[in-house]
């Protein structure tokens, strides 16, 4: 196990009806003028936005609103939010929604106290030294942004995505009511759970040795999704299954599963270009990219993939031919994605093989590599994309 530091200060407020306490926690964490940032339809139609505003009114906290967040959140709305915060003297950003809304809120929170262009952070030209406090009322179990230090934004000038991470944007609190996820369409639920699994995969496939404790954490999260997701697809109102999935999403990405071990993240970065170009659901893109990436890198560490197959999928170990066990684990991963309605190829996603050069150009892979489990240059990334076409 590698040396590490772990800092996860987010205050989690979990359970039925907890969104009605949002104002209390905004007050507790110092907010007096709040930007409520959200997507649109569902939080309004469900009455969630009204409940959140009522909780702020109860505490005497003033607020302004900015809706319109889309999946794969856009830079244009971030600029609007930054301008609004500066103009109105906002001192707290409250995200009401899923990962896209939280990511957009984090970008706004950094930009509101920065004299330059917020994109400087995502482009690697600057490091954020401070941000407005960010909190969330979560409506989908997926990205884990409610407990992470990360944010991903699509730059509309070229339509490409970039991630940024900093402890200054880790949410100060997260309200998590599994009931709020019950109205999600099955595809969105499945896509979110695929994202959760992908966050674990990025940590699980590592070159670091002797990481039994975090291996077991990773396996537990994966097995939880495999067990509970079919339940909620069958019965969307299964509160206990929804609760397990929601907390699994947080554990998958607050880095409790990733401390002390080298992580990869090539598959996420390869997928970012898919969802930026085709505006597909992030989880759906990951369902396409991960089996392809696994197939390409498996020979690098057959035993780790065999361990994954045995511990997560219950495959029988073939000690004479461990590569066969490893391949079976990848096949079962792909089959599971299919069983929950996810695409697993370019064609099923609506992507085009002839666009691979464009994807590689926006990935800006020339002269550098992606990932750490196996470092991928432009040629290797192209091969992974082509495997995803099959």
What does the pLDDT read at residue 40? 79
In the chain, the number of structural domains is 2
Closest CA to 179 of 360, 323, 51: 51
Q: Is the pTM of this model over 0.85?
A: yes
Q: Note whether 162 and 201 are same-domain residues.
A: no
Q: Which tokens belong to 3?
A: 């040396």
CA–CA separation, 7 and 350 (whole Å)? 40
Q: What is the pLDDT of residue 190?
A: 98
pLDDT confidence bin for 41, thresholds 50/70/90:
confident
Residue 149: inside a domain: yes
Mean pLDDT of the region 32-55:
94
Indicate if 128 and 219 belong to the same structural domain.
no
Q: Same domain, yes or no, for 135 and 206? A: no
The answer to whether residues 171 and 202 belong to one domain is no
Q: At which of 126, 160, 180 does a domain end? A: 180
383 Cβ contact partners less than 8 Å away, ≥ 6 residues apart: 296
Indicate the SS3 state at residue 363: helix
Average pLDDT over residues 162-183: 97
Please, which pLDDT band fits residue 14 given cuts at 50, 70 and 90?
very high
- Select from 155, 180, 205 the last residue of a domain: 180
Judged on CB neighbours under 10 Å (0-12, 13-18, 19+), 171 is buried
**Residue 208 burial class via C-beta count within 10 angstroms: exposed 0-12, middle 13-18, buried 19 and up:** middle
What are 325-380's pLDDT values in tens digits? 999 999 999 999 999 999 999 999 999 999 999 999 999 999 999 999 999 999 99
Domain coverage including residue 156 = 11-180
In-domain check, residue 350:
yes
Do residues 84 and 146 both lie within one domain?
Answer: yes
Q: Are residues 20 and 136 in the same domain?
A: yes
For residue range 267-291, list pLDDT tens digits in order: 999 999 999 999 999 999 999 999 9
Judged against a pLDDT cut of 90, whether residue 124 lies above it is answered with yes
Residues 161 and 187 in one domain: no
Name the band, by pLDDT with cuts 50, 70 and 90, for residue 42: confident
Query: Per the domain annotation, does 1 fall within a domain?
Result: no
């Amino acid at each position: 196990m590698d040396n590490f530091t772990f800092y996860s200060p987010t205050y989690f407020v979990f359970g039925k009806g907890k969104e009605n306490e949002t104002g209390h926690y905004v007050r507790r964490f110092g907010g007096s003028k709040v930007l409520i940032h959200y997507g649109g339809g569902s939080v309004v139609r469900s009455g969630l936005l009204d409940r959140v505003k009522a909780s702020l009114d109860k505490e005497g906290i003033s607020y302004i609103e900015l809706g319109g967040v889309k999946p794969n959140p856009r830079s244009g709305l971030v600029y609007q939010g930054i301008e609004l915060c500066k103009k109105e003297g906002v001192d707290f950003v409250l995200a009401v929604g899923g990962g896209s809304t939280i990511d957009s809120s984090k970008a706004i929170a950094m930009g509101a106290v920065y004299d330059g262009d917020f994109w400087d952070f995502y482009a690697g030209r600057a490091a954020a030294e401070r941000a407005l406090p960010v909190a969330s009322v979560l409506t989908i179990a997926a990205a884990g942004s409610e407990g992470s230090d990360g944010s991903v934004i699509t730059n509309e000038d070229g339509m490409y995505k970039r991630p940024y991470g900093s402890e200054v944007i880790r949410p100060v609190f997260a309200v998590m009511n599994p009931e709020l996820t019950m109205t999600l369409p099955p595809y969105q639920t499945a896509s979110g759970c695929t994202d959760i699994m992908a966050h674990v995969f990025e940590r699980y496939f590592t070159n670091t040795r002797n990481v039994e404790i975090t291996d077991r954490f990773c396996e537990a999260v994966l097995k939880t999704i495999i067990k509970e997701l079919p339940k909620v697809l069958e019965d969307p109102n299964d509160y206990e299954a929804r609760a397990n999935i929601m907390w699994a999403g947080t554990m998958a990405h607050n880095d409790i599963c990733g401390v002390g071990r080298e992580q990869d993240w090539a598959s996420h970065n390869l997928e970012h270009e898919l969802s930026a170009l085709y505006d597909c659901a992030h989880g759906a893109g990951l369902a396409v990219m991960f089996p392809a990436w696994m197939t390409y890198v498996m020979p690098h560490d057959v035993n780790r993939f065999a361990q994954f197959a045995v511990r997560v999928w219950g495959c029988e170990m073939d000690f004479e031919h461990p590569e066969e066990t490893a391949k079976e684990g990848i096949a079962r991963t792909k089959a599971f994605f299919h069983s929950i309605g996810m695409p697993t190829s370019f064609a099923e996603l609506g992507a085009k093989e002839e666009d691979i050069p464009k994807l590689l150009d926006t990935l800006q892979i020339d002269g550098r590599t992606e990932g750490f489990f196996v470092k991928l240059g432009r040629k290797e990334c192209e091969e992974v994309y082509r495997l995803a076409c099959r």
